[in-house]
Amino acid sequence: SFADLAEKLMPSVVNIASTQTIKTTSNPFKNFQFPPGSPFEDMFKEFNRPTERKATALGSGFIIDQKGIVVTNNHVIQGAEDIIVSVNGSTEYKAKVIGTDPYMDLAILQIESNEKFAAVSFGDSDKARIGDWVIAIGNPFGFGGTVTSGIISSRNRDIGLTRYDDFIQTDASINVGNSGGPLFNLNGEVIGINTAIIAPGSSGSIGIGFAIPSNPASKVISQLIKYGETKRGWLGVRIQEVTKEIAEVEKLEKPEGALVASVAEKSPADKGGIKAGDIILEFDGKKVDTMRTLPKLVAETEVGKRVKVKVWRNQKLISKNVTLGRLESSDEFKAETKTDPD
């Protein structure tokens, strides 16, 4: 039974209620016209006052430090004015935001209390295998402390949700309110952060849930705790997929790597001698099997690191040395574009 494990982990999983004020202005008489100075004019102005209502979002989170540091999804607390965290389903605490990362949909909160809390630790998500048992604990539909179990159904899923999609797919029931909650392995380690579900027609869980893997998440989390923001590596290239046709023309054995469509002026790639038309096959010793792999590899590499980039140019493999910049301070990053900046 999962009972012993669930009992041990439950005190570290929290329910999160975030409140924000939504302002609306509605006037049922907006289509009526009154002559200037009409006594009705002032009367109907009364109806044009903005009204405010409080909207509450429910989610989950988990404690990773006994000082009360909580991990959750950014979308759970985005725009929140008040955040209430309840531990063990009973005690409520106020919490403040330490840092957020909308690009991986992560947020770090600090419970405003001097108490010591039960914390959980991260496992190695790279060792998680398809078919491994997992359990999810969270606050679906406001039912706090709900435990569900399942297996890892797939890994490295790209569902087009975030800039760095690399989800673990699970059939453990995940519903609205589970967002930000932990996905545990049988050692009681967090190997994923439950983030999204596929629910046709809002039917709730149909056994296809997605969790951010703990390895890339924990790198971002430690940056948010340390700096209050993220510091991702930046290469400065726009990339596109290497199709079968491109591979044939370029005399590549198979379609792989990332084709450089353009290089930003004075970017690390530009200074390192990478050119449009190059196909990046290896970055910092790691293979770039598809276009989507490159942004993840670059983002996870520390700013200022000198890395070797292997590119296919003129039907030859050549190496370039590039000193990475910081993504968040690049002009490309600030200007929203349709292709994936990297």
Can 125 be counted among the known catalytic residues? no
Q: Is 174 left (phi over 0), alpha (psi -120 to 50) or beta?
A: beta
179 is catalytic: yes
Q: How far apart are CA 274 and CA 271, in angstroms?
A: 8
Q: What is the DSSP letter of 302?
A: P
| Residue 105 annotated among the catalytic residues of the structure | yes
Angle at which helices 293-300 and 214-227 cross, to 10°: 40
For 168, counting Cβ atoms within 10 Å of its Cβ (0-12 exposed, 13-18 middle, 19+ buried), the class is: buried
**Among 74, 43, 48, 52, which Cα is nearest to 61's?**
74
Q: 12, 18, 60, 75: which one is catalytic?
A: 75
Check: CB of residue 139 under 8 Å from CB of residue 194: no
Give buried/exposed letters for 222-258 (b at 16+ CB in 10 A, else e).
ebbbeeeebbbbbbbbbbeebeeeebeebebeebbbb
Residues 250, 244: Cα–Cα separation, whole Å: 10
Cβ partners under 8 Å of residue 218, min gap 6: 122
For 285, other C-beta atoms within 10 Å of its C-beta total 9
User: What does the CA dihedral 77, 83, 84, 85 come to, rounded to 10 degrees?
Assistant: 50
Name beta bridge partners: 216.
Answer: none
Selecting among 18, 60, 101, 105, the annotated active-site residue is 105
Options 179, 214, 218, 267, the catalytic residue: 179
Please, which residues have CB within 8 angstroms of residue 191's CB and are 6 or more apart in sequence?
122, 123, 124, 125, 128, 134, 168, 183, 184, 185, 211, 213, 214
Instruction: Report yes or no: 180 and 61 within 8 Å, Cβ to Cβ.
Output: yes
Active site positions, annotated: 75, 105, 179
